[in-house]
Amino acid sequence: MRYLIMLYGPREGLDALSRGDFGDWTNEDVTAMMEHMGAINDELADRGELVDAAGLTGPSQAKAIRLSDGTPTVTDGPYLETKEVMAGYWVVDTETPERALEIAKRASLSPNPDGVDPGGVEVWPLQEEGPAPE
């Protein structure tokens, strides 16, 4: 079964990181985080479970479409005003739901500097294709 594993982090921190401003993060912190995520990518690829993965740009670069009087209107920023935003994702194809949760738990252990909110991880099953409508 396929799952979407979404990584979340603090909005301000992700915008800063996408500009190359590490804020509370040292070069070593960024390297440790990237190595942690890279090791997960490598393991998933080696096991044949990796379908897709990507990190996202900072939320200030996101666009949203909202209906305004029935007309789609492009707005700046992510679709919700939230403290945390999606930082990246994996789409995995695993034998069991427990394996998808195991991957997400490992991702949640990504190194962070002391005092920096590590964000969260969500796991969503993807709908399997059903029969074509008649």
- CATH classification number, 2-125, choose in 3.40.50.620, 1.10.3720.10, 3.30.420.40, 3.30.70.1060: 3.30.70.1060
pLDDT score recorded for residue 130? 65
Q: Can you tell me the mean pLDDT for 36-62?
A: 92
- CA 43 vs CA 4, 18, 30, 50, 87: distances in Å: 17, 26, 20, 9, 20
**What's the pLDDT score for residue 100?**
96
Per-residue pLDDT, averaged over 18-41, amounts to 85
pTM above 0.75, yes or no: yes
Q: How confident is the model at residue 75 (pLDDT cuts 50, 70, 90)?
A: confident
pLDDT band for position 125 (cuts 50, 70, 90): very high
Give, for 107, the enclosing helix (H) or strand (E): helix 97-108
For residues 49-65, give the mean pLDDT: 88
- pLDDT, average across residues 15-43: 85
Angstrom distance (rounded) from CA 27 to CA 111: 12
